[in-house]
Amino acid sequence: MATALIYKVFLASAILVISLVVAMYSTLIERKVAAFIQDRLGPSRAGPWGLLQPLADGIKLFFKEEFMPNTADKFLYILGPALTMFVALLTSAVIPWGPDITIGGNVFPLQVADINIGILYILAILSIGVYGIMIGGWASNNKYGLLGAIRASSQMISYELAMSLAIIAIVMMTGSLSMREIVSQQQGFHWNVFYQPLGFLIFLVCAFAETNRSPFDLPECETELVGGYHTEYSSMKLGFYLFAEYINMFISGAVMATLFFGGYHFPYIDQLGLSQNAFAFVSFLVLFAKITFFGFIFMWIRWTLPRFRFDQLMRMGWKMLIPLAILNILVTGAVILVKF
C-alpha cells in the first residue's frame, strides 16, 4: 500500500514536471513555427537555436512588476490565474501514459488514477477551466477584461456541447467511460479516428475553441480587446495564464491521441520483443510523438487562419457542429444496431 502511494506521488510529480517543461518549451516551438511559416528564423540568440529562451522568459516574468489595479477585487484577482493553472494541470491525472511497468515484482500502471468515469472527469474539469478566465476577467474591473471573460464563457458553453456529443459516439462504440479501457480497445491499428472521422473533426475544432487558440482566440483578441481577460495582469500572474494555455494544448493533444489515435498504441511495437519496461517506455514515446504532432497542428492552424467573427463562431458552434455531432451519434447508433 505504501509503495503504491509513493509511486503515485512520484508519478504525479513526474507528470507535473513534464507538463510544465513541455509548456515552457511549447512557447519556444510556437515562436519557431511562427517564424518558419513567415520565412523568419525565430528566437536564436539565447543559447543554440534559442534553447534558453523559455528560461529567459520565465526569469523575466518573475522579475516584472506585480501590478494590481486599485479597483480590482484583490482575492478574485489572484484566484483567477491560480485556478486556471490548477485546473489545467488536473486533467492529466486520468490520461494513461503507457502500459504497466514492473519494478521489483510489483506492477504499476502508468496512469495516476484509473477512474471508471475518466471521460466525464475530463469534461468536468475542462468546464471548470473557464472559471479561471471568467473570474480573472471580471475581478480586474476592466471593460476589456470583462468582455474577454464574457466571450470566453459563451464560447466554452457553445463548444463544450458539441465536444461532449462527439465523445458520446466514442463511448457508444467502446461501451466504457474509462480512458484505459478506450485505449486498450484501440490496440494495433484499430484507432477510433478510422471509425469516427467526423467525431474526430468535431472534437478537434472544439479543442481549439476550448483552449482559446486561434482561430477561436476571441477572449484574448488583441485587435479588439487589448489583451482580453488578461489585460490587467502582469508578471507571473500573466505568466500563469499564458502557461495554462500551453498546458491545455498539451493535455488536449493527449486527450485527442488517447480517444482517437490509439493512445500509446502503435502497430507492431508489441512484436519487437522488448522487455515489459522498455515496451512501456517506447509506448510512452509513441504517445508523446502523437501529442507533439497535435501540438504542431495547433500552432500550424494558429499561424494560418485569421480569427472568426463572433457571430460566425456562434453560428458554427450551434448550427453546424452540434447538428453534425448529433447526426454522428445517430449514424453510430444505427451501425451498432445493424452490426450486433
Partner 1 sequence: MGSYSNRSKIVSRKKMNLWELIYLPAVFKGMWITLKHIFRRPATVKYPEVKREFSEIYRGLHVLKRDDEGRERCTACGLCAVACPAEAITMVAAERKPGEENLYREEKYAAVYEINMLRCIFCGLCEEACPKEAIFLTKRTVASEYTRDKFIYGKDILLEPADPDKRIDITKRLTPEVIEFKKDKNAKHNE
Return residues touching partner 1 (CB under 8 A). 33, 35-41, 44, 300-301, 303-305, 316, 320
Pick between residue 180 and residue 302 the one whose CB is nearest to partner 1: 302
Rg from Cα positions in the chain: 21
CA angle at 19 for the pair 146 and 64, rounded to the nearest 5° = 50
Q: How far is the CB of 40 from partner 1 (least distance, A)?
A: 5
Pick between residue 303 and residue 310 the one whose CB is nearest to partner 1: 303
Q: How far is the CB of 56 from partner 1 (least distance, A)?
A: 18
Q: How far is the CB of 119 from partner 1 (least distance, A)?
A: 26
Pick between residue 38 and residue 70 the one whose CB is nearest to partner 1: 38
Q: Do the Cβ atoms of 306 and 215 come closer than 8 Å?
A: yes
Interatomic CA distance for residues 268 and 286, integer angstroms: 12
E strand or H helix at 123, and its extent? helix 118-139
Q: Do the Cβ atoms of 168 and 329 come closer than 8 Å?
A: yes
E strand or H helix at 29, and its extent? helix 2-37
Pick between residue 117 and residue 201 the one whose CB is nearest to partner 1: 201
49: left (phi over 0), alpha (psi -120 to 50) or beta: left
Pick between residue 36 and residue 194 the one whose CB is nearest to partner 1: 36
Interatomic CA distance for residues 79 and 74, integer angstroms: 9
Q: How far is the CB of 202 from partner 1 (least distance, A)?
A: 12
Q: How far is the CB of 266 from partner 1 (least distance, A)?
A: 24
Cell reading at 186: 484501440
Q: How far is the CB of 297 from partner 1 (least distance, A)?
A: 9
Interatomic CA distance for residues 317 and 41, integer angstroms: 36
Pick between residue 34 and residue 113 the one whose CB is nearest to partner 1: 34
Backbone angles phi, psi at 134, to 5 degrees: -65, -45
Cell reading at 43: 528566437
Cell reading at 72: 480590482
Pick between residue 35 and residue 52 the one whose CB is nearest to partner 1: 35
Pick between residue 40 and residue 74 the one whose CB is nearest to partner 1: 40
Q: How far is the CB of 323 from partner 1 (least distance, A)?
A: 13
Pick between residue 40 and residue 190 the one whose CB is nearest to partner 1: 40
Sign of CA dihedral 205, 210, 215, 216: positive
Cell reading at 35: 517564424
Q: How far is the CB of 173 from partner 1 (least distance, A)?
A: 24
Contacts of residue 94, Cβ cutoff 8 Å, sequence gap at least 6: 111, 112, 113, 114, 115, 118, 121, 122, 179
Cell reading at 240: 500563469
Interatomic CA distance for residues 174 and 336, integer angstroms: 11
Interatomic CA distance for residues 92 and 246, integer angstroms: 13
Q: How far is the CB of 232 from partner 1 (least distance, A)?
A: 33
